[in-house]
């Protein structure tokens, strides 16, 4: 037989306010994601995500966790109770969150966040591609050739295919 530890779910209680252990774990988890993301963005030159992108993703993730977790609890475990008294869905002090609902909420929130991020990066990438075409055409007309292979932003050090600069006529 399994013996589960019996401990008080309230970590800190100040008057009518009670902070529970699982609430602290959510807070610590979100804070660690924020700190690790900021650290990685600061240490990665040319990072795709900005600090604002991280903040937005974390905001969407927190909303997905809380709303999805609560709705999952309502739908999966106590649907009949909440159908009789639907306003009790907002009684968060009574507890009740579902991991499955939270996971689905985070997935939905990240899809929503990624669709907005993809639109922004598609516009950014299109503008970058236009600048690259203009730069290549300018080099071709100035020097008569495209020039040496450049590093690819996608391949991390894999040279792009292309012609090398033609030797000057005096060298022939």
24-62 pLDDT, tens per residue? Answer: 999 999 999 999 999 999 998 888 888 999 999 999 999
Average pLDDT value for residue range 68-76? 92
Please indicate, yes or no, if residue 89 is contained in any of the structural domains.
yes
Tokens 């106590």 sit at which residue? Answer: 78
Residue 85 phi, psi (nearest 5): -135, 80
Please indicate, yes or no, if residue 22 is contained in any of the structural domains.
no
Please indicate, yes or no, if residue 127 is contained in any of the structural domains.
yes
Residue 17 DSSP SS3: strand
Q: Which of 154, 164, 165, 158 lies closest to 132 in space, CA to CA?
A: 154
Element (H, E) at 168: none
Distances (CA, A) of 122 to 41, 109, 118: 21, 20, 6
Tokens 């994601």 sit at which residue? Answer: 33
| pLDDT tops 70 at residue 77 | yes
The domain containing residue 134 runs over which residues?
49-144
Task: Check residue 72 and give its pLDDT.
Answer: 92
pLDDT digits (tens, 9 = 90+) for 95-154: 788 899 999 999 999 989 988 877 666 655 666 666 666 676 666 656 555 455 555 555
pLDDT digits (tens, 9 = 90+) for 79-89: 998 999 999 98
Please indicate, yes or no, if residue 59 is contained in any of the structural domains.
yes
Task: Check residue 92 and give its pLDDT.
Answer: 81
Number of structural domains the chain divides into: 1
Element (H, E) at 46: none
């Amino acid at each position: 037989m399994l013996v589960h530890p019996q401990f008080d779910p309230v970590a800190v209680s100040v008057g009518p306010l009670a902070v529970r252990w699982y609430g602290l774990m959510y807070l610590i988890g979100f804070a660690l994601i924020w700190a690790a993301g900021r650290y990685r963005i600061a240490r990665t030159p040319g990072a795709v995500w900005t600090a604002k992108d991280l903040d937005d993703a974390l905001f969407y993730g927190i909303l997905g966790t809380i709303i999805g977790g609560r709705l999952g609890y309502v739908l999966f475990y106590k649907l009949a109770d909440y159908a009789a008294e639907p306003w009790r869905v907002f009684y968060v002090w009574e507890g009740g969150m579902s991991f499955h609902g939270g996971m689905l909420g985070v997935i939905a929130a990240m899809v929503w966040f990624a669709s907005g991020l993809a639109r922004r990066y598609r516009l950014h990438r299109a503008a970058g591609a236009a600048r690259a075409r203009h730069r290549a055409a300018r080099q071709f007309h100035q020097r008569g050739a495209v020039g040496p292979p450049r590093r690819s932003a996608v391949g991390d050090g894999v040279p792009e295919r292309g012609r090398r600069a033609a030797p000057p006529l005096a060298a022939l």
